[in-house]
Structure 1
Amino acid sequence: MQQFEVNFDGLVGPTHNYAGLSVGNVASQSNANAVSNPKEAAKQGLAKMKALADMGMQQGVLAPQERPDMAMLRRLGFSGTDAEVLEKAAKQAPQVFLACCSASSMWTANAATVSPGADTADGKIHFTPANLTNKFHRSLEPEVTGNILKATFADTAHFAHHKHLPDNEHFGDEGAANHTRLCSQYGESGVELFVYGRYAFDSSKPAPTRYPARQTMEACQAVARLHGLDEQRVVYIQQNPDVIDQGVFHNDVISVGNQNVLFYHQQAFLNTPAVLDEIKAKFGDNPLHFIEVPTSAVSVQDAVSTYLFNTQIITLPEGHMAIIAPSECEENAAVSEYLKTLTTLGSPIKEVKFFDVKQSMRNGGGPACLRLRVAMNDQQLAATNPNTLMNNALFARLNQWVDKHYRDRLSEQDLRDPQLLIESRTALDELTQIMQLGSVYPFQQG
């Protein structure tokens, strides 16, 4: 039986914009209110997906959310026609309005936590959408995310779907951005790493003081229980509070893993030696590679600004690993020099491939933010909605769809345009037909 890791990238939506909504995310805040290019953003994402498919990787697509979120604006008391709701919200509560226009669902690393069947008690792949309670604009996503995941992975013989955790910061859950998995082969039982920023029910424990810790220990434990994981194959790791306060809002900004490689910054974790010892003990006797990047080589600030760790590490069909990095890594002298050295260290990582994802980077997310990893076997892949899997035909069809529906310039003022809402809904309705998702959006459900 063949085993794969499939990357499901989020398709950038037609209202992609820069609102600077994410406190603690340096890139997001520094580009607040800049003019965006939704068409270019979507095409950059599609180009990355197609490039990975052309490398022989299994690659999927996840549909975007509907924005503006009209259902939430109405829930918050704005009434009338759609045009009236948009105008009232933009005038009376502009920050609330911008939050309801957020483009953040493009970062599908935050969509859910995924545990493969090799790790779960029932042998199914388990999905739990992230509740994303720390940021209002992201807390709008879980219900539709769940709908999209269920439409993509519909076969209940192979897939299990859970409701997102309670909408409360005690169970703040940011999904796969704070979760990774180490294994010898994708189809073998692995060690799942859950990274948290604080304890919700014990304020005496270490926690950041400047920026919020978005993931709680209690949320990590709940997801592990829901997925039926063996606690002897789970490691709970506290993120270093100091790096959170330096703008490392998720673990995938400071650490990334793939198969038997954990690539992390020296300052990533609290009590790193104990963390590594526990991983080694639970991983067993198979080879394991820890690659620690010292602060002397790459500062936390350079790691954050280039998203060195928000890269994808993939195992190519040839057997070695490659890093998929944003072009910003190549443009930064310290990071570029480190990456040249990395490929000579004797680890499985043998090459670095750079991609232009600037529209995403300016909004606060690199290549790893754009994808949700799903380890599966050939039977599970065959049970996945085939219309969501990247190939030449889908690539061409989605590019045509983007050309037809997307604007190449979008300002904050444009978000209140009722015509943009009509364009967006028309586009998404057509997309669900292309990908055969059914009615996943509230506007389609009446």
Structure 2
Amino acid sequence: MTTVEINFDGLIGPTHNYAGLSLGNVASAANAGEVSAPRQAALQGLAKMKRLMDLGIPQGVLPPQERPHVPVLRALGFDGSDSAVCAAAWAADPALFRNAFAASAMWTANAATVSPKPDTADGRIHLTVANLASMAHRSLEAPETEQWLRLAFSDEAHFCVHPPLRFGVHFGDEGAANHMRLAPAHGAPGVEVFVYGEDRGGRFPARQRRRASEAVARLHGLDPKRTLFVAQSDAAIQAGAFHNDVVAVANEHVLFAHEHAFEDKGAFYAALEEALPGVVIIEVPANEVGLEDAIRTYLFNSQLISLPPEGREPGSMALVMPQECRENQRVWSYVEKLLAADNPIREAIVIDVRESMRNGGGPACLRLRVQADAAAFAAIDRRFLLDEALWERLCRVVERHWPERITASDIGNPALWDEVRAARRALLTEMRLA
């Protein structure tokens, strides 16, 4: 077995709702207060996982986190039983409780930053848990994320899991959503690109700090000559590209990016071409796909994947993209042009993740990429690796236990709190994690 890329998707949790908690996330704000469909959302996510499995691409899964997040409510002075704590918090501060109820850990592109063996000084796979310090609801995720990652990647001969960075927003770290890796192949030494934002007084904040990216690179033992720190375009941030993966994605030797993704694209492209001769840079012109269309459809939040060679030209890649791309005439016209051109991207695989999209998370938001050789792959805890049988069992759990819908007022309903806790327990039991 050569080095492969495994996509670890977050299973969308039973508290999936539209509370509009994420400043700078245009879709999240636009759909605030709308009725969500947690069961449909989770089944959409599972269907995406199955689509990749059917292509022969290894697929992992991480469970949703415990919500409502009672420990943070207790730490803020609410006491009594779990239900009493939730009731008191909902009555006293509904906005706080909505943060404690969020299902945002489903977007595992923000779970951690991952560097594979060929890039690290000690020849192990390094994962640094993201602190997600810039948003209250997301800052709650790091402890449980670290718990699951330490369990899934417990073999220290192959893996090193680092805790989240300290010092809050001063070292704000949003994980792999602002990190790209380019290499001739998954198993070859690569160039790791850390994309950060610079606050310039705009209406939306930059979330990734350069100093955080530099710290992660040091912790992972990366070669400074093959590590690039690149400023995200402020125009993209202010348009609603709150993470780099909303305007750029990379896979092996291909970078697929919007014309306005980076603040100084000329310097970045030159540095990348020097560090990785043979890199293919596909830049989408703004006059064909504007930032507004890119963000509305999440064209760049597609999963750019390497396709198995059977029946295909070697080196072929595909974009696993949301159906919103096909529904937008300008974007789909560009996609058709892209597929007809001479480049490694040969296929567009259109999927339905509309429930996640309405909260500002496309296909790429839902997965954390881990490149592993045969020995490391064998060392991953099998409970987190998806196969046909586990996939079917997870679908049955979701169909039986996930709420069909959640309204804004439902969030304060004690019966719903009991329902979502029971749903998660059923899932963990099915995964043998309880």
**Alignment partner of 2:329 out of 320, 328, 333:** 333
Matches within 5 A, 1:133-148: 133-148=133-148
CA distance in 1, matches of 2:403, 2:233: 41
CA shift digits 1:36-86 (9 cap, x unpaired): 111000000000001100011111101111111011111111122222222
CA distance in 1, matches of 2:149, 2:167: 19
Paired position in structure 2 for 1:295:
286
Whether contact under 8 Å (1:197, 1:207) holds in the other structure is no
Query: RMSD of aligned C-alpha atoms?
Result: 1.2
Whether contact under 8 Å (2:403, 2:420) holds in the other structure is no
**Counterpart check, 1:248 vs 2:241:** yes
Shift of 1:33: 1.1
For the residue of structure 1 that corresponds to 2:160, the secondary structure is: strand
Paired position in structure 2 for 1:201:
none
Shift of 1:208: 5.2
Shift of 1:154: 1.6
Which one-letter code corresponds to 2:108 in the other structure? Answer: T
Whether contact under 8 Å (1:306, 1:328) holds in the other structure is yes
Paired position in structure 2 for 1:93:
93
**Counterpart check, 1:43 vs 2:43:** yes
Matches within 5 A, 1:28-107: 28-107=28-107
**Alignment partner of 1:259 out of 226, 239, 252:** 252
Shift of 1:425: 2.5
Shift of 1:417: 2.5
CA distance in 1, matches of 2:200, 2:409: 38
Whether contact under 8 Å (1:27, 1:364) holds in the other structure is yes
Which one-letter code corresponds to 1:407 in the other structure? Answer: P
CA distance in 1, matches of 2:153, 2:422: 24
Which stretches of structure 1, 4 residues or longer, exceed 6 Å deviation after superposition? Answer: none
Which one-letter code corresponds to 1:119 in the other structure? Answer: D
**Counterpart check, 1:239 vs 2:232:** yes
Which one-letter code corresponds to 1:354 in the other structure? Answer: V
Whether contact under 8 Å (2:249, 2:255) holds in the other structure is yes
Point out where structure 1 has 5 or more consecutive residues left out of the alignment: 199-205, 439-446
**Counterpart check, 1:435 vs 2:426:** no
Matches within 5 A, 1:372-391: 372-391=368-387
CA distance in 1, matches of 2:226, 2:432: 37
Whether contact under 8 Å (1:111, 1:142) holds in the other structure is yes
CA shift digits 1:327-352 (9 cap, x unpaired): 00000010000000001221100010
Matches within 5 A, 1:407-446: 407-437=403-433
Shift of 1:419: 2.9
**CA separation of 1:47 and 1:409: change in aligned 2, threshold 3 A:** same
**Counterpart check, 1:312 vs 2:308:** no
**Alignment partner of 1:345 out of 322, 341, 351:** 341
TM-score by length of 2: 0.97
Paired position in structure 2 for 1:174:
174
**Counterpart check, 1:280 vs 2:279:** no
**Alignment partner of 1:370 out of 366, 374, 382:** 366
Paired position in structure 2 for 1:218:
211
Paired position in structure 2 for 1:26:
26
For the residue of structure 1 that corresponds to 2:266, the secondary structure is: helix
CA distance in 2, matches of 1:83, 1:415: 13
CA distance in 2, matches of 1:382, 1:303: 38
CA distance in 2, matches of 1:82, 1:271: 50
For the residue of structure 1 that corresponds to 2:239, the secondary structure is: coil
Which one-letter code corresponds to 1:74 in the other structure? Answer: R
Which one-letter code corresponds to 1:191 in the other structure? Answer: V
Shifted more, 400-409 versus 108-117: the winner is: 400-409
**Size of the alignment, in residue pairs?**
429
Which structure's residues are more often helix, by fraction? 2
Point out where structure 2 has 5 or more consecutive residues left out of the alignment: none
CA distance in 2, matches of 1:110, 1:162: 15
Which one-letter code corresponds to 1:47 in the other structure? Answer: A
Shift of 1:315: 0.4
Shift of 1:229: 0.7
Whether contact under 8 Å (2:133, 2:172) holds in the other structure is yes
CA distance in 2, matches of 1:13, 1:47: 15
Shifted more, 219-228 versus 207-216: the winner is: 207-216
Shift of 1:156: 1.3
Identity of aligned residues (%): 50
CA distance in 1, matches of 2:242, 2:33: 21
TM-score by length of 1: 0.94
Paired position in structure 2 for 1:203:
none
Shift of 1:155: 1.2
